[in-house]
Structures are given as C-alpha cells and as structure tokens.
C-alpha cells in the first residue's frame, strides 16, 4: 500500500512551511528546488514551475497523476518526472524534497567520474533506514545532470531498484539533492541529515587537498 500524507489537513500549507524552513537554511536559492506529497487518492501535489520556495502559497501547488500528467491547470515543476519516479519505486514514499546546497553541489562536482557519494563513520548516518551505528557506510547514488527529465528518470530507475536496501536519497551532480520519507517530517529530516553529511564530507575533501584519487572513500 503506497504511503500517503492524509494526516496533513492542508498538504499545500505544510509543504509551503517546509519550503520556508529550507529557504531559511540556504537550501533553496532563487527559484531552485521542488517539493511534493502523495495524496490520499494517489495523485501527487507538487510545486508549480518557477515559484520561489521561500514564498510559497497554496496557489503555487498543483496536482499531477502518477505519470506526471497535469490534473490542475498550469505547469508543474520541470522535474516532476523525478518525483513520479521516486513514488513509483518506493511505495513507502509520502513526500519528496529537492534542495540545493553549496557544499553538496561543489562536492558532487569534485567527485567527477564517481557514481556515488560514500559517507562513512558519521553519527548522523543513523538517519538512514536500517543503520543503527556510526560504524557504517552509506552511499548516495550520484548521476550526471541533464535537462532531459525522461532520460534522467530512465537512468535513475535501475540504479534505485538495484539497491539491496533503498537509500531514500540521491544526488544529481552539480545540481542538487533529492530526499524523501514516509511523511513530510521524515522527508525534511532526511534532507537536513543528508545536507549536514554532505557538508561534512566536503570539509574532509578540502582537508585532504582534493578528491582526485577515485579509490579514496570520503
């Protein structure tokens, strides 16, 4: 049974409030980012294209079908298909948040040629499902950026499906983070945890003087 967020009396208002919090943390510059929630009827509520995420209101959200087809009038986020992909591959996903941090963006570019961001030894790894200790390693899938959303979704689908334990986050190189959870609160916590870990990893890369050795874990 797919997860939904019917516990939110007003999903658009809840997503707008999350947007203001993420914007205040510097994770939504300009009009970057997009947010969504799976509704009780199975449709997806998502931000419209071009809306500033720190100044969202109900009018800046719209519903789309599971294949991204618009239900309400207007144009949804250009990355709607990536949200649809996440809901399709993870029945537990109830909300998806896409953010942009300086640390994550630069780190992903520094890891040219890698297909994952390995995070190891951090206490906050316990935010990930099934991880109960800092003595662990979690790898976020890392893919190259593209403006072709159908192609990007097609690239990501087998990567996500191949995971033995699905990591509820991935990174698009030079672009940003996608993270999700069964509830909006869980999705926001996953974003905060991932962005913190990415910032720590970038600081470690800088201390080592770069990330040229592809065999070195972060």
pLDDT in tens, 144-192: 999 999 999 999 999 999 999 999 999 999 999 999 999 999 999 999 9
E strands within 106-202? 116-120, 137-143, 169-172, 176-181
How many residues can be counted in the chain?
218
Q: How far apart are the first and last CA of the chain?
A: 37
Degrees to nearest 5, angle at CA 147 with 144 and 152: 55
Q: Does 52 belong to an annotated binding site?
A: no
Q: Which domains does the chain have, with CATH numbers?
A: 11-208 (3.40.225.10)
Q: Does 98 belong to an annotated binding site?
A: yes
pLDDT in tens, 192-205: 999 999 999 999 99
Contact 180, 169 (CB under 8 A): yes
Q: pTM for this structure?
A: 0.92
Q: 129 is written with which tokens?
A: 């499902």
Contact 194, 124 (CB under 8 A): no
Helix (H/G/I), strand (E/B), else coil: 4:
coil
E strands within 66-131? 95-99, 116-120
């Amino acid at each position: 049974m797919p997860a939904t967020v019917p516990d939110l009396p007003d999903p658009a208002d809840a997503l707008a409030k999350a947007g203001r919090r993420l914007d205040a943390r510097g994770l939504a510059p300009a009009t970057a980012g997009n947010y969504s929630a799976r509704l009780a009827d199975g449709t997806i509520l998502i931000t419209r294209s071009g809306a500033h995420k720190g100044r969202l209101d109900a009018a800046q959200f719209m519903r789309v079908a599971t294949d991204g087809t618009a239900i309400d009038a207007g144009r949804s986020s250009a990355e709607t298909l990536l949200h649809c992909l996440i809901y399709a591959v993870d029945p537990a996903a109830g909300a998806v948040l896409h953010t942009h941090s300086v640390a994550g963006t630069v780190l992903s570019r520094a890891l040219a040629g890698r297909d994952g961001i390995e995070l190891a030894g951090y206490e906050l790894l316990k935010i990930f499902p099934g991880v109960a200790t800092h003595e662990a390693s979690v790898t976020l899938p890392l893919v190259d950026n593209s403006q072709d959303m159908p192609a990007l979704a097609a690239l990501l689908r087998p990567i996500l499906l191949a995971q033995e334990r699905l990591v509820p986050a991935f990174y698009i190189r030079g672009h940003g983070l996608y993270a999700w959870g069964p509830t909006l609160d869980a999705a926001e916590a996953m974003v905060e945890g991932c962005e913190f870990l990415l910032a720590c990893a970038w600081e470690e890369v800088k201390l080592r003087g770069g990330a040229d050795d592809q065999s070195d874990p972060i």
